[in-house]
Amino acid sequence: MQKTEGEESKAENEEVKQVTLMTSDGVKMKVEISIVYEMEIVRSFIEVNDADHSVPFPLPNVSSHTLDLIIELVKNEYDDEFMKTFSHDELKEVLVAANYLNMKTLLDFIATAIANLLEKKSVEFIRNFFNIVNDFTPEEEAEIRKTNEWVFQDLDED
Amino acid sequence: MKRYRGSKVQKVKEVVVLPLELITQILLRLPVKSLVRFKSVCKSWLTLISDPHFTKMHFELAAAPAQRLMLISGRALAPKVLSLDMNASLNNYSAYVELKVSCAAFPSTFVRIGGSCRGFLLLDCFRHLCLWNPSTGIHKQVSYSRMATNGDILFSMFRGFGYDPLTDDYLVVQLLDRLGKPGNLAEVFSVRANKWKKVEAIDMMFMPTGSRFSQNMCGLLLNNCIHWLTYCIKLPMILSVIFAYDLTERRFLEIPLPVDFDDNKLHSRVLRELAGFLNLCATVEWNYSLEIWVMKEYKVQSSWTKTIVVSLDHLPTGLFFPICSTKNGDIIGNDGETGLTKCSKEGELKENRPHCNVSFRHPLAVYKESLLSLPCHTQQAVEDN
């Protein structure tokens, strides 16, 4: 797996402690322990078992692509500009992974980012974003919208 | 920054479906306006966004809920209800929305606002009271108490609206001073019990302060207490006084004014909540200066501090009556005409927007956006009371 410049320069001075993670698509990734420690699910296992760090820790619910994004986010201290390059699917995948890995700071960061993205969006945009099927009849939907017309003003373009 | 996208062969894209638990995490971080709109996404979202546990968690998590100014104007049979986002620029026209009001919440007569609490406004509709959440349209009618309608001529009527966190109950408080009869009367309406109850009144002889519906009669809610600023007679003197009703201890009390507060020189004075503190805003000389006193430590007389003196002669209209503060500490007030003025916390003019229907002749109140509903009244609560 790729190593970033940061890891290489640190490696010259002292060997950075790393943990190998195995992603759902079978990729083994060496990850700095400081990042792994943000993943409560891995941290608690390592601490309890004092495991051999060379044996890959399996993450059957996280793809290598998603794990790459997470590592970059943590390394860059949750950089907004970097996160803005994510596709909608990447945002959702990182949210699901953050929840599975029990990364509280990341979960809060990414949930807030998605909320900011959706704040001024239309109902139709939301249904697309979450793959939700509208189960209201047209009459029911019109009735709900009628009671609070003010919330449909000043929206973003979809 | 490196991106790894495209560095691997991607499998056929699977649709990412978020579990309800994670959707809830996102929705909890959205403002009220978005959530009310998203009630029409699908049935399960409507259920979630209306759920009392969700709405309560949403209200408690919001670090700084959007604060809006409610203005009711127009003719008696056609009230015009405007809601202004207090954190937007005064000249941002999309921050002003007109609310369509339901006839049930808003009878076609003129209404007055008697208090504001957790997203609800207390409306006096002249035949009854109404608790109304303008963000969601949720409302509940409250009958007048028998005491308030028994034909006595009222000298003064102080009314307020608040929340008791210990019993998770909303309370309407009113204090009546009957002309020519000794002793004040006080009553509290509990939403949970759905009835009025007589409570011990504060022993003070009040001076009429103009209209029964003047601004000072509407209580200011802060720190689980409702506050009123008025005049009382302590012979041979007539003094300014702040009295309050403690919603958790369920009793009236007096809040001391600043020691060196000389109200003989004042032209107008009003209590306001600014940045979470109790503030006394006093116009010292018309068109000249406004003083703002803040009670830095609640209920501690010596903590009253004169924080700002606004030079009114620098302002467009020469007048400024504070209403509320914004997220970054600016103060928004009426400009003495029908406009709004925003000043910094140092008292420097930041913005003025003339002619936007703001006037103390019309009902006006600050409310927070919330999705909250009112607790249903239960038999248990009735028995407890």
Q: Distance between CA atoms of B355 and B357, rounded to whole angstroms?
A: 6
Q: Are strands B237-246 and B220-222 parallel, antiparallel or unpaired?
A: unpaired
Reported as a single tens digit per residue, the pLDDT across B270-310 is: 899 999 999 999 887 776 888 999 999 999 999 999 988 88
Local confidence band at B151 (pLDDT 50, 70, 90 cut-offs): low
Asked if B130 and B105 touch (Cβ cutoff 8 Å), the reply is yes
pLDDT at B95 over 60: yes
> Of the segments B20-29, B122-131, B151-160, B264-273, which one has the largest average pLDDT value?
B20-29
Mean pLDDT of B313-335: 90
Taking CB atoms within 8 Å and a gap of at least 24, the contacts of B96-100 are: B96/B356, B97/A150, B97/A153, B98/A150, B99/A150, B99/B134, B100/A149, B100/A150
Can you give the pLDDT at residue A39?
Answer: 94
pLDDT at A142 over 60: yes
pLDDT at A55 over 70: yes
Domain boundaries, chain A: 5-124
Can you give the pLDDT at residue B281?
Answer: 92
Q: Distance between CA atoms of B121 and B98, rounded to whole angstroms?
A: 16
Can you give the pLDDT at residue B214?
Answer: 47
The 3-state DSSP composition of chain A as helix, strand, coil percent (nearest 5) reads 55, 10, 35
Asked if B84 and B78 touch (Cβ cutoff 8 Å), the reply is no
Q: Distance between CA atoms of A22 and B134, rounded to whole angstroms?
A: 52
**Sign of the Cα pseudo-torsion (A74, A79, A83, A85, in order):** negative
- B374 CB-near residues (< 8 Å, 6+ apart): B120, B131, B138, B140, B170, B191
Query: Does A72 contact B29 at a Cβ distance shorter than 8 Å?
Result: no
Can you give the pLDDT at residue B219?
Answer: 92
Q: Say which of B3, B18, B102 has its CB closest to residue A130.
A: B18
Can you give the pLDDT at residue B360?
Answer: 73
Q: Say which of B1, B135, B137 has its CB closest to residue A72.
A: B1
**What percentage of chain A carries pLDDT values higher than 90?**
61
Closest CA to B71 of B338, B304, B271, B254: B338
Mean pLDDT of A90-98: 96
Residues in A 6-65 with any Cβ partner in B closer than 8 A? 25, 27, 64-65
Local confidence band at B104 (pLDDT 50, 70, 90 cut-offs): low
Query: Does B21 contact A126 at a Cβ distance shorter than 8 Å?
Result: no
Scanning every residue of chain B, which has its alpha carbon at the shortest distance from the alpha carbon of A133?
Answer: B42
Local confidence band at A52 (pLDDT 50, 70, 90 cut-offs): low
This prediction's pTM = 0.85
Q: Say which of B1, B2, B40 has its CB closest to residue A123.
A: B40
DSSP 3-state of A105: helix
Query: Does B17 contact A114 at a Cβ distance shorter than 8 Å?
Result: no
Residues in A 57-116 with any Cβ partner in B closer than 8 A? 64-65, 68-69, 72, 76, 79, 82, 85, 89, 92-93, 95-96, 99, 107, 111-112, 114-115
Length of chain A: 158
pLDDT at B10 over 80: no
Residue with tokens 């009253």: B304
Min CA distance, B100 vs chain A (Å)?
A: 7
DSSP one-letter string for B224-242 = TEEEEEEEEEETTEEEEEE
Min CA distance, A93 vs chain B (Å)?
A: 7
Closest CA to A52 of A16, A14, A24, A20: A20
Q: Which residues of B touch A122 (CB under 8 A)?
A: 37
Scanning every residue of chain B, which has its alpha carbon at the shortest distance from the alpha carbon of A75?
Answer: B1
ipTM of predicted assembly, 2 dp: 0.88
Angstrom CA distances, A95 to A3, A73, A83, A149, B19, stand at 24, 12, 12, 32, 11
Mean pLDDT of B330-336: 91
Query: Does B42 contact A144 at a Cβ distance shorter than 8 Å?
Result: no
Closest CA to B327 of B110, B85, B162, B155: B85
Q: Which residues of B touch A141 (CB under 8 A)?
A: 40
Query: Does A136 contact B43 at a Cβ distance shorter than 8 Å?
Result: yes
DSSP 3-state of B156: strand
- B80 CB-near residues (< 8 Å, 6+ apart): B72, B73, B74, B98, B357
Closest CA to B4 of A129, A127, A85: A85
pLDDT at A3 over 50: no
User: What is the identity of the amino acid at B179?
Assistant: L
Closest CA to B184 of B159, B201, B206: B201
Query: Does A150 contact B18 at a Cβ distance shorter than 8 Å?
Result: no
Can you give the pLDDT at residue B357?
Answer: 77
Q: Which CATH class is domain A5-124?
A: alpha beta
Mean pLDDT of B195-222: 76
Can you give the pLDDT at residue B193?
Answer: 95
